[in-house]
A and B are shown apart, each in its own frame.
Chain A
Amino acid sequence: MALHREKILTPSFWVLLTFTVIGFYCIGLRYVMGIGAVSNLSDGFPWGIWIAYDVATGTALACGGYALAIVIYIMNGWKYHPLIRSAIVTSLFGYALAGFSVMVDLGRYWNAYSFFMPSRWQVNSVMFEVAVCVMAYNVVLAIELLPAILERFVHSTNPRFPKLKEYARKIYPKLDKVLIFFIVLGITLPTMHQSSLGSMMIIAGSKLNPIWQTGFLPVLFLINAMYIGYSVIIFESTLSSVAFGRPFEKEVRIIAKVVPYLTAAWLIIRFADLYYRGHLSTAFSGDYYSKMFLAETLLIAGGAYMLTWKHFRMSPRWVFVSAVMLCVGGSWYRFSVYIIGFNPDKGWSYFPSLPEFFITLGLVAFEILGYMVLVKMFPIMPNLEGHKKSA
């Protein structure tokens, strides 16, 4: 079990901890002094980076588990196992971050229990659908991760928790039998809420610039989540190869092959929609909004185009670069829909305040911290030495 006993208190741990502390200090301020005191949010821009980044973009970046599950369980006969657990952990942390940020962002957080009271459900609300799906997905992710946690106890040689080991032994096989139904739920739920994250802004009507405002927002967000998800897996896997001195996972190249198809579909819908609504010229007019559109489109198309070449796909470095381009471009698109393209009326503008940044940074640092600790303590990473279970 050498791999899972790595040192936890590394220098990066302390850096992350510092950011976490600052972030939580700002969160404290927000609860004492009100959202207005720490943020640049206003009646014109009631949503800022806490929603645009932590929720709308963060959950897309956390779609690795979702994207990979589609490949493994639906398309490819349960093949690329090694990556799935770390992808699920990232998803869980990404979605937990979203949940956390929502509790920071909600003005009347003490009423949030309304979501558990059917009498208060307002099923016409897109946000209602998103909230319920996301909460359910968090539970599903936790269940999907349970086997890894249980394994830790099943294989434990530590005599201190005999009861735990016994329980783990009992639950493990039972969980194993039904796990497939949760895995499938873990694919259905993100399909629903990722598309709804797009639908969310439809009601903003002309407050969202016509380059982004379209009835196709749900499809665009769904496909966007998929290619971001795959890109994140490539990104993460390459990074952890470096960080943990592991060999470059070859499955990544196979995933890299799928991405251009998704992106092509996305771009076709994007442009066909602009053309159909007569806003192609708006998108290329060269003004601020048009530049933002070009930036996100070039990043996405460029990153995907690189992956269509075998030469690039075979090189870990270039695969990494294109994954980064896709993540940034894809996230940029989401930012455009939630903030950049949003213009409620004359006289309103928004740029996040320092504490807003610190809260988001702090939550991300906290997330990475938790990820690092978990990965080092439990068998999440594909196992290198190929250690068999001690039968």
Chain B
Amino acid sequence: MMKKTRREFIKLAALSGAGIAAAPLAAEASAPITANEEAVGMLYDATLCVGCKACVASCKNVNDMDAAPAPNDADRLWDAPEDLDYRTRNIIKLYKDGEGDFSYVKHQCMHCIKPSCVSACPVAAMQQEKDRGIVFYDKDICIGCRYCQVACPFNIPKFEWPKAFPKIVKCDLCKFTNLKDKGIPACCEVCPTKAVIYGKRDFLLAEAKKRLAENPGKYQKEIYGEFEVGGTNVIYIAGESFSNLGFRELEFDSNAAFSENIQHTIYKGFVAPVALYGFLAFVAIKNRKNHHGHGHGHDAKHEDKHGSEK
């Protein structure tokens, strides 16, 4: 009896596991991600940025964001954000090392080509425009689960932690404000040195490559965002190494694509779950018949569960 049970158990475990186990292997052969031709984004050239923070101010102004006063600002009048948070979609930071090297850097949403936040969101509150590739947020749908925060490789979406009725905050390329009104994101519009420019991704990438080729000594060889997590629509060039500028070294594969592939392999056309259900139902019903045939001596109460005895 036990022999049989054990064997069947392993069989079952193998069966239910097999589909899921096969998934990561199958998922590895996923198609490469390519940006849409119409995709728009920004190019930030750290060597041109003078750290005036006009983009920070303008972003707040245009998108109606609260000030983030410094801790010792008793009047709480001045905006002095230390990092991205629910009041700040966009920030300029200064990197400085002992040697006298320094560089400014701007952080905001990278508008990934295959965004993890969109893939993670269970209710489609994080969305991506089909043509332009802009990743934006709809607070009226969001349930505040913060899976987008877990998923984003750049830790971009921010949550209004101190509020009783919070929402998620992130750069949406001024989709509903400056871009809509003036055809250009606020930060790009006000930048006095054109350190950050707006345009189609193809154009921006070509421009970045041109600058690297013209001035190889000035720049790092890498274009950050060209390949990271499958590529982003906001790309960077800089004179300092990107790890110094606060960028994580990231895999070139898109986690979102990998995750979706696994999920789709398991749930493709819902075949596997339905098959599992059918198989289990078949075995269970067969077992019930056998069981009744043998007529085990349970007390009446539990026998009730099987019906027919009545």
Q: Give the B-binding residues of A (Cβ under 8 A).
A: 31-37, 41-44, 46-47, 70-71, 73-79, 81-82, 105-109, 111-112, 114-115, 120-122, 124-129, 131, 147, 151, 172-173, 176-177, 179-181, 183-185, 187-188, 191-192, 195-196, 199-207, 214-216, 218-219, 222-223, 226, 254, 257-258, 261-262, 265, 269, 344-345, 379, 383, 386-389
Contacts and interface: CB of A to CB of B under 8 A. Distances in A.
Contacts of A147: 304-305
Nearest to A273: B24
B34 interface: no
Nearest to B17: A219
A215 B26 CA distance: 10
Given A115-B123, A203-B116, A218-B20, A108 B255 contact: no
A388 B155 contact: no
A359 to B, nearest CB: 16
B41 interface: no
B143 A70 contact: no
A111 B141 contact: yes
| A33, A111, A262 interface centre (most CB from chain B within 10 Å) | A111
A180 B161 contact: no
A33 B161 CA distance: 9
B137 to A, nearest CB: 12
Contacts of B23: 215, 218
B20 A78 contact: no
Given A34-B162, A379-B301, A389-B301, A78 B288 contact: yes
Contacts of A207: 150, 153
B176 interface: no
A201 B262 CA distance: 12
A121 B208 CA distance: 38
Nearest to B299: A386
A261 B283 contact: no
Secondary structure call for the A interface: helix
Contacts of B299: 383, 386-388
B5 A124 contact: no
Instruction: Assign chain B's interface to a size class.
Output: 35 or more
A63 to B, nearest CB: 13
Contacts of B162: 33-34, 36-37
The 8 tightest CB contacts between A and B, nearest first, are A107-B144, A215-B24, A36-B161, A108-B144, A205-B255, A46-B146, A128-B122, A46-B149
Secondary structure call for the B interface: helix
Given A34-B162, A180-B281, A222-B17, A114 B123 contact: yes
B164 A215 contact: no
A269 B14 CA distance: 12
B131 interface: no
Given A34-B162, A74-B12, A261 B259 contact: no
Interface string B266-277: 110000010011
Given A111-B140, A345-B155, A184 B277 contact: yes
B29 interface: no
Nearest to B119: A124
| B28, B139, B142 interface centre (most CB from chain A within 10 Å) | B142
Nearest to B142: A108
A254 B147 contact: no
Given A34-B166, A107-B146, A205 B251 contact: yes
B159 A46 contact: yes
A46 B122 CA distance: 16
Nearest to A385: B299
Contacts of B300: 388-389
A141 to B, nearest CB: 15
A273 to B, nearest CB: 9
B146 A258 contact: no
Contacts of A70: 9, 12
B9 A77 contact: no
